[in-house]
Amino acid sequence: MVPDLTSTSAWLALLDHSRIAGAWQMRDLFSKDPQRFERLSLACCDLLLDYSKNRLDGDTLELLLALARERGIEQQRAAMFSGSKINTTEQRAVLHTALRAPREAATAIDGRPVAPQIHEVLDRMGDFTARVRDARWLGYSGRPITDIVNIGIGGSDLGPKMACQALRAFHHPRLRAHFVSNVDAHDLDAVLHQVEPETTLFIIASKTFTTMETMMNAHTARAWFLQRGSEAALASHFVAVSTNTDAVQAFGIDIANMFPFWDWVGGRYSVWSAIGLSLALMIGAERFREFLDGGFAMDRHFCSAPLAANMPVLLALVGIWNRNFLHTASQSIAPYHQDLRHFPAFLQQLEMESNGKRVTLDGRALEAASCPVVWGDTGTNGQHAYFQLLHQGCDTIPVDFIAALRPAHALQAHHSALLANCFAQSEALMLGKSAAQVHAELQRQGVPETAIPELVAHKTFPGNRPSNTILLEALTPATLGALVALYEHKTFVQGVIWGVNSFDQWGVELGKVLATRIQSELAGQDNPDPLAHDSSTANLIARARKAAGKTG
């Protein structure tokens, strides 16, 4: 049984400490300690984490590190990397880290090494991507492939979509990537209007080949293709990331072009696997391995660095401090890089599906809050949308600012303006602007003294709002891999501290079950049970049936 988090000695010490630290002003912490940045920042894997703009000090960190040790972070980390079945509700190992390890890695599950099968798939992916990129894989009319359409949902969409966009600068010049996930046909329809059957390659990404949204989109894409191509031509235009050989063959896909992954790879951790096939096609096998290498470099750091100098651990502990002791309910992600525009959505799934839990590993109700709401958008767009709330809203919302020091373009003036905004926003959130400062500023502007009092409150910024800044040397396959792995391990550490299973997602299931029943009713099948639904749902179904002509 996992001990109650809130009764541990480390937790109680942090609770006492927070009563004092809650009154601290960050601007005072900086003025008292000129070396604050040096002490509260850390570099590894071509990433820099600056966590100095948080309401904490060295004592806070020592208490947080004591909590991490008391909750068994080191032991649980070792269990995950060894292949132990730490996903206890599904009795599965959690070995996405093995996907980016070298060939000689010794990781095993139930005594069976996993590296050989991983690298066999990677080799097959490399051969396939080379043929497509070199125009040796041709469509049914003899033309090379120009468009890659990945059809998946959840981790089979968010990971590769995020990574493909992030690494846009490394794309093959002939290829375009498209991603379809939503069962809403507006998603698929928009993509099909941009591509031609003769030059399009579809990747159907579904481990079981039964995922409702994915297979509905896949069969619609198949029907669209057969309006121009033949059944025999399907094998040249459809490949699968799956393990269901019979279903893949029945669909018309050559099993030689079926790329498997394993049940010890969770969907939201699967971009490192064959789910990353679209990414490998766009950037090439060599660059894809650089992406894996970046993740592996962060793995080595996570496993070997002392907790006090461990980037994922520190990022996680700062989040625990803000969430559980300073009572922040959400976390904003602000990448100041347009190519990282899908990164907030990727982290939404990674963190909220992993740690959005209300019970412990042994089924008891949590006594402390778990995962905050994760959301965000790119800078500088976010500044003109939601930053008003960050600066002057009622809630304190920590922000992770993410930026690259070197851009992938030659427009240096733009990049300087971008970085200036990124650094200024974190500074402004920390410093704020006092009523006295506003008053003096209005006086300098010549505002009449009688008008100043009514303006002061509107122009005052409370400040003292926390943020982290993560700087990449440049956005490359390797640094993206390290960044993704950083947040994966942060999520793991927080899950261990909260005592939840970060690797199941039962909350996704109930709505799916109910949707299956309602779908048959929307199609015209009457439900014999008049009390099958509440009055709201029943009337919504009735209106939808009427709109579709299913009722009089």
Q: Among all residues, which ones are annotated catalytic?
A: 353, 384, 512
CB contact at 8 A, 271 and 484: yes
The DSSP symbol for 48 reads: E
CB contact at 8 A, 319 and 234: no
Query: How many Å apart are CA 265 and CA 96, to the nearest integer?
Result: 5
Question: Number of C-alpha atoms within 13 angstroms, CB side, residue 355?
Answer: 28
The DSSP element (H or E) to which 357 belongs, if any, is none
Query: How many Å apart are CA 296 and CA 126, to the nearest integer?
Result: 19
The DSSP symbol for 348 reads: I
φ, ψ for residue 8 (rounded to 5)?
Answer: -70, 155
Instruction: Give the DSSP per-residue string, 439-468.
Output: HHHHHHTT--TTTHHHHHHHH-B-----EE
Q: Is the dihedral of CA 169, 172, 175, 179 positive or negative?
A: negative
Query: How many Å apart are CA 281 and CA 128, to the nearest integer?
Result: 8
The DSSP symbol for 205 reads: E
Burial of 94 (0-12, 13-18, 19+ CB in 10 A): buried
Query: How many Å apart are CA 488 and CA 57, to the nearest integer?
Result: 25
CB contact at 8 A, 498 and 5: yes
Q: Alpha helix (H) ranges present in 3-57?
A: 9-21, 26-32, 36-39
Query: How many Å apart are CA 461 and CA 506, to the nearest integer?
Result: 42
**Residue 532: Cβ within 10 Å count:** 13
Nearest to 483 by CA among 365, 270, 315: 315
Strands 467-474 and 47-50, by their bridges, are antiparallel
- b/e code 154-183 from CB counts within 10 Å (16+ = b): bbbbbbbbbbbbbbeebbbeebbbbbbbeb
Rounded alpha-carbon distances, angstroms, from residue 150 to 238, 274, 278, 428, 438 = 10, 12, 7, 41, 53
Q: What type of residue sits at position 82?
A: S
Return the CA Rg of the chain.
26
3-state helix, strand, coil in the chain (%, to 5): 55, 10, 35
